[in-house]
Structure 1
């Protein structure tokens, strides 16, 4: 089911002053996440943020004023001739309809995760994109971060032997304690697997490859959640999706990995991601972030810190006033733009996204049925993004 075509159609890219081909980018959905894309986009070659739109025109107007771009209606943005790619930053339940509308308007799509809530929706987008010669890309792009690419480099070097197993854990006590409107996290399309799972699954595909089958046990320990954040403190949320999931993933290369995802845990001591090779182990930092420390062991030796390499997506740049974290969101969009101009498949491609969607929905299905689920989709590991390739995406050398 994987589409290996490399769409180039419908690119209106203009020339910048330095003769660089630039693709015009618009945004649908002007919530919190839009600010991150707009702040970080100027770091990258090949893209130029030009306009935004939202069902709430006041939100679009405010974001446009903040970043010096145009505010347009959704209909006008879809029809804009200066826009090549539209970023879909709407709520997950609207992702499919909005992305389909973008494709029908002849634009490429880059979506926030999750791309869709059902595999069938993703396959429909694939068919629509292929028939129009368009591309669909999707976050997360954190696996392009320096830490995860360094882990990839160590695995590819063979020093750890063959990866045979691993564990992943993403656990907390939910979103109702900080988010102003946390309801959607606990409805269909939410939950820790579809909300945070994309970071973990995308990185596992990057490090190990595609998944063959999954099994899971799931539960809803609390049928209601009490909002403790403002402005809705004290209101109740009816929980409609599992908030604790324990899954087992078997990969095509033979590796087996356990994934624990829960919003019912106050504290734990599990690492974010550990992978076990025939010759050693590697401890990978949080896939939700671009940077972090990578540690490894060779056979039974002590864990060693892998000395940071010169990957630009490892460098702390956030927050601006006192940088502590590496935040290069929009790297996936910029890499997609470069791939479109070169006629190549993006690293955050539709084929890998579809496979990730099926992994996550299959986990939820297995949790409901108690049965193993064999996956129908397949994808290749994305090409590694070494320091030189990452620097080539940036406007200024790092």
Structure 2
């Protein structure tokens, strides 16, 4: 096993627990967690005390530490660009939680800095590297449903205030169902069907405030200042059309998280918020739904595999731009921001960026 990339996490909030679990399971295969920092220093200390060999540092200290090779940026979206730019200025590769930044303008500054410095940049979600999305990708590449002509992506929940103790940022600009959950779905659609050239959108916000239902702030209300129900149409460069429905207002749905319709059949794709799940197919020749055997993707994938994939791509010489790339994250962010702009104007928005369809992940027991 090649020498692992020494990783430092900035941001020890709720999502960090999933990264910690993944890094522990990887056991130094590609990456090794060595440090953690958070503006709330007690949270960083709690993580350091729970993981052998991990030091609690200040944010400044972690960015400057010569024993940290790469940074995993798990701060809130509003801080993603600032932290990434500081890491790049220190010469360190960054893997950032989604979205790449709060706005396309901020993300463009991050991309420019990384390109000029020659620094690899990665961006969540990396759930697309797991067996669920990758098995669906393999089926499409093998022509199982013919030529893809359309897709639907549906995410419905009454809102994150039901379970999150501090849900405020979900209801501020930069939050909402599209920018929060949309990256999983849009990244999957680009992975499956390729880049997007134009979008159409509509949006609404039916409530002006939300009531926190768990944790020490239960009963408090938070204001809503961003759309909480968004629909959109993505026009892929291939000509395929994807329809999005992202809601923090509706209660439930029986729809598959993603369906891809082709000239010869339909794929039902599992929840892109997870790395695994059953892919089902119904073809013109065999109308009944049937499951597909797992045929691609990292079998043990979890949150954090994006930075591991970057390390594996470099083959022991640091990290390299790989499938869950900043370039892909930028394109996905521009798509989502474009849908929101189209919702405001009532028209369509051209997407100026493009990206190569990410390389498939062959089946791996990693």
TM-score, normalising length: structure 1: 0.87
Report the CA distance shift for 1:274/1:108 in structure 2 as closer, same or farther (over 3 A): same
Note if 1:255 corresponds to 2:229.
no
How far did 1:314 drift?
A: 4.4
1:23-43 Cα deviation digits (max 9, x unpaired): 110011111222221221143
Report the CA distance shift for 1:159/1:167 in structure 2 as closer, same or farther (over 3 A): same
2:297 and 2:362 in contact (8 A); partners too: no
Unaligned runs of 5+ in 2: none
2:7 and 2:70 in contact (8 A); partners too: yes
Structure 2: how far apart are the matches of 1:59 and 1:303? 51
2:132 and 2:297 in contact (8 A); partners too: no
Note if 1:144 corresponds to 2:126.
no
Equivalent residues in 2 for 1:233-312 (5 A)? 233-299=218-284, 301-309=286-294
Unaligned runs of 5+ in 1: 1-17, 316-326
RMSD of aligned C-alpha atoms?
Answer: 1.6
Structure 2: how far apart are the matches of 1:98 and 1:356? 20
1:79-124 Cα deviation digits (max 9, x unpaired): 1111111011111111111111111111110011111011111111
1:293 and 1:305 in contact (8 A); partners too: no
1:30 and 1:63 in contact (8 A); partners too: yes
Note if 1:26 corresponds to 2:8.
yes
- Match of 2:313? 339
One of 325, 330, 350 as aligned partner of 2:304: 330
Structure 2: how far apart are the matches of 1:329 and 1:127? 26
Is the partner of 1:71 in helix, strand or coil?
Answer: strand
Is the partner of 1:164 in helix, strand or coil?
Answer: strand
Note if 1:386 corresponds to 2:352.
no
- Match of 2:60? 75
**Number of residue pairs the alignment of both structures matches:** 361
2:281 and 2:292 in contact (8 A); partners too: no
Structure 1: how far apart are the matches of 2:89 and 2:152? 41
1:292 and 1:314 in contact (8 A); partners too: no
How far did 1:159 drift?
A: 2.0
Is the partner of 1:95 in helix, strand or coil?
Answer: helix
1:166 and 1:257 in contact (8 A); partners too: yes
Structure 1: how far apart are the matches of 2:77 and 2:356? 26
1:215 and 1:373 in contact (8 A); partners too: yes
Structure 2: how far apart are the matches of 1:200 and 1:306? 21
